Chain A
Amino acid sequence: MERVTDFKEKHDAKIKEIKYSLFLVRNSPLTILGALIILILILVAVFAPYIAPYDPEKTNILARLKPPSKDHPFGTDDLGRDIFSRVIWGSRISLQIGFTVVFFATAIGTVLGLIAGYFRGWIDEILMRITDMFFAIPSLILAMAISAALQTRSIYTTMLAVTFVWWPAYVRIVRSSVLSLVESQFVEAARSLGASNRRIMFKHILPNSLAPLLVQMTLDLGAVILVAAGLSFIGFGAGPNTPEWGRMVAEGRNYMTTAWWTITFPGLAIFITVLGFNLLGDGLRDILDPRLRR
């Protein structure tokens, strides 16, 4: 019992902060909606084999372009594949691309951003000029060029291309929060106690710059999924039979005037997914921003 009280006393401020955050979340219905969308999406992706009524790649020429019905809630496509099952399986691909790209972009960007902001000088100068170059080319265009240069087409090429485009944004974010923290007293204190540069960077500075990073990552999950879907719509990315949402819209396009469901449901899936991440990210920003808190 004593230990519990001890813990409570020691972390009193932190517990209060967390309680307050939860209070703010409760008062923001759009944030909750975003979180719910993402939660459902993750569950759908994990349990896809159990939810999807049909094999997403199985064709059935006799049942092609059937409108939504009890058997096929979202109808069938031009090869008679069940669109509902394909949309369900597609969630796996989109989430996989989103999480992989954001993970690697954050990892690369964080390390380089820490280095740039902490050491300053020539290394900072070089890194900043490199990120400048990347910002001068729109991300979808750059990802297109890289995908073309890589010559092969798969969701892995898409991941590689989009990661290549995405990391510079994180260098900027981490660097700017490092710059504001490096002068603070707790870093000074750690330094005077003889902490190594690496320890200061990863144990003291990084944990304190997590909030803006987390917000950006959430928003970027949506943005990455959108760019990847665009790439796949124009013909890069997943192979012919893959149930990828952007690709499904491209395939359904030729039949849309007689079979509206071929493009409507996969596109709606992209929209709702990205909206979920944007609602959550937008809400998190309001909640984590200390200027907006009180």
Chain B
Amino acid sequence: MDLKSYIARRLLLAIPTILGVTLIVFFISHVVPADPALVWAGGARARPEQVEQIRQLYHLNEPIWKQYVIFLSDLVRGDLGISPVTGRPVIEDIKTYFPATLELTIFAIALAILIGIPLGVLSAIKKDSPVDHSTRIFALSGYSMPIFWLGLILQLVVYYYLGLVPDPGGRVNTQVYISSEFKTYTNMYLIDSLIQGRFDVFFDALQHLILPGFTLAYATAAIIARMTRSSMLEVIRQDYIEFARARGLPERVVIYKHALRNAMIPTVTVVGLSFGGLLAGAVLTETVFYWPGIGRYMVGTINTLDFPALMGGTILIALVFVIVNLLVDILYAIIDPRIRYG
């Protein structure tokens, strides 16, 4: 199979998964609640005529399969319903908050890769050394850490006690932001500031990103470190590594050029799969750091009983996760020809 037809096949296979996601969200939003209309209208506080209006608007009196068809066709048009709290279409809110989440998660994944891969390589080539043991403890702590607690403790120590970072809360110092003619194109401040050559804004945004970024990255860094370690150990045992050594290549070249490249393949998959955990972690991280992203938006809906907003956020996150894994699969096929021909 050549690369093009592999990608086409993989894209087609994503369709049932996406449909499945909509089916689950539909089930949760239309079947699980005792009275969906009441939930969609904002719970106990909604007036009876509001509930009735919602019932008409979302066709909640129709047979269940028809409701699903309507739900799907609304979804395709980007209609996620109207928030009973703000009165705005949910999709508009999501557009506002999503770039902040994207910036945070991309930053975190980059940080996780930068920490995880070197640690994994180091502990594989120095197996059973103190370095290896410390990495194991670092990784097991990462799996076990309540992310919201880590965020709070970091704030307490790094900001309140040591004063090393600016006020944890928000993405950029509002003073910097308002006082100047700073334009937003992507709404990801790191990118926007670079485009305009505004390094003051860039460094300010970066300082705001450090703590939430590390909080979110830790668990993923732990997973990447463990995966890199075990696949490095596997690769180092192979004949071609022995052969490279026998040819008299320096150890550095053997490890980084021959071994690491091949060991990276499983790590790429793990990065894709751990993106789901990262998105879930973003919900908690954003709550802790007052980060105005989609996660904090969703948590806000819990107290205001803004059900359409929560469902919209859920669909969005699931879609992002599916798309990221699709990209990872394609990347995988590009770096490892065995996948395509296998």
Contacts and interface: CB of A to CB of B under 8 A. Distances in A.
A38 to B, nearest CB: 13
Nearest to B31: A149
Contact of A144 (B34, B303, B310): B310
Given A141-B317, A144-B283, A145-B311, A271 B20 contact: no
A284 interface: no
Contacts of B279: 138, 141
Contacts of A150: 32-33
Interface in B115-155: 136, 140-141, 143-149, 152-153, 155
Contact of B20 (A129, A235, A275): A129
Category for how many chain A residues contact B: 35 or more
B329 to A, nearest CB: 13
Contact of B146 (A134, A144, A148, A226): A226
A129 B17 CA distance: 8
B270 interface: no
Nearest to B277: A138
A264 interface: yes
B141 A275 contact: yes
Interface stretch (A63-71, A194-202, A249-257): A249-257
A149 B153 contact: no
A133 B311 CA distance: 16
A138 B301 contact: no
Closest 6 CB pairs of A and B: A133-B20, A267-B149, A140-B280, A138-B280, A275-B144, A274-B144
13 contacts: A133-B17, A133-B23, A136-B18, A137-B276, A141-B314, A142-B28, A142-B314, A234-B287, A234-B299, A257-B156, A263-B152, A263-B156, A267-B149
Interface of B: 16-18, 20-21, 23-25, 28-29, 32-34, 39, 43, 136, 140-141, 143-149, 152-153, 155-156, 160, 276-277, 279-280, 283-284, 287, 298-299, 301-303, 307, 310-311, 313-314, 317-318, 321-322
Given A230-B147, A249-B152, A267-B153, 15 more contacts: A130-B20, A132-B16, A133-B20, A133-B21, A136-B321, A137-B321, A138-B318, A141-B280, A141-B314, A141-B318, A148-B301, A148-B310, A234-B302, A249-B148, A275-B141
